Amino acid sequence: MAAIHPSAIVETDSIGEGVTIGEFSVIRPGAVLGDGVSVLPHALIDAEVEIGAGTDVQSGCHIGRRPRATGSVTHKPTFRERLRIGAGCAIGTHAVIYYDVEIGADTLVGDHASIREETTIGNHCVIGRSVGVANHVEVGDGTVVMFSVNLAARTRVGRGVFIAAQVLTTNDNTIGAGGGLTDEDTGPTIEDGARIGANSTLLPRVTIGREAVVGAGSVVTRDVAPNTTVFGNPARLRS
């Protein structure tokens, strides 16, 4: 039996056994909450959002935000009005997850993280506190993204990658002078098992090879070969 606070607004019948919904939370029509899901106060779970069994949604979250562009944005967002969060996940306080996102099982999304549309996050991942994940991003299973990382649009991250705090990825070599992003503007590709040190910057389209290491504070301007270590500005092969 679900435990629903009287102040909550619940507009769906798809609620599993042992679900708890806290004060002033809103669950829109068509949302699906699996067995044992916990929704803390003041969370919003929008229509057609599916949350797997045993997942915790902390207070103030917005799960199922619709992307919106203003006149200052040249790229108009496209998305499907669906969102899937796997079983056993933890969604931190004030996290914002847009529509058209899929998150695998046993993944942690930290406080104040933002995940944009048309993005896939794998199983057993960590998306740390205040991480910004832009649209069209892929993150493979078992990857850890630490605090305050920026994953730019069309960044590809493989399995078992470690990205340390305050790493920046970029996808626009014109630094905004080109009149807005196009489909040709892509972020970096970080292959399986690579490790990116704190405060590093990865420029557009570079590839970090499998099991490669980028030292802290590096600026990566060209591809990094698999199983090598680079560091510096610009990043160079360790001798």
Query: Could you tell me the domains of the chain?
Result: 1-66+78-133 (2.160.10.10), 138-239 (2.160.10.10)
In a 13 Å sphere around the CA of 65, the CA atoms on its Cβ side amount to 18
Residue 74's pLDDT is 57
Q: Which residues contact 109 (CB under 8 A, 6 or more apart)?
A: 89, 90, 91, 92, 95, 97, 103, 115, 121, 127
Q: Which bin fits 221, alpha (ψ -120 to 50), beta or left (φ > 0)?
A: alpha
| b/e sequence 190-226, b meaning 16+ C-beta within 10 Å | bbbbbbbbbebbbbbbbbbbbebbbbeebbbeeebee
Q: What is the pLDDT along the chain (239 residues), one digit of tens a residue?
A: 899 999 999 999 999 999 999 999 999 999 999 999 999 999 999 999 999 999 999 999 999 999 876 655 556 778 789 999 999 999 999 999 999 999 999 999 999 999 999 999 999 999 999 999 999 999 999 999 999 999 999 999 999 999 999 999 999 887 777 665 566 679 999 999 999 999 999 999 999 999 999 999 999 999 999 999 999 999 999 86
Q: How far is CA 188 from the centre of its chain?
A: 16
Q: Rounded CA gap, 85 and 122, in Å?
A: 10
Residue 9's pLDDT is 98
Token pair recorded at residue 73: 């944005």
Residue 118's pLDDT is 96
Residue 70's pLDDT is 67
Residue 227's pLDDT is 97
Residue 172's pLDDT is 87
The secondary structure of 113-160 as a DSSP string is: -EE-SSEEE-TT-EE-TT-EE-SS-EE-TT-EE-TT-EE-TT-EE-TT
- Of 159, 154, 163, 142, nearest in space to 218 by CA: 163
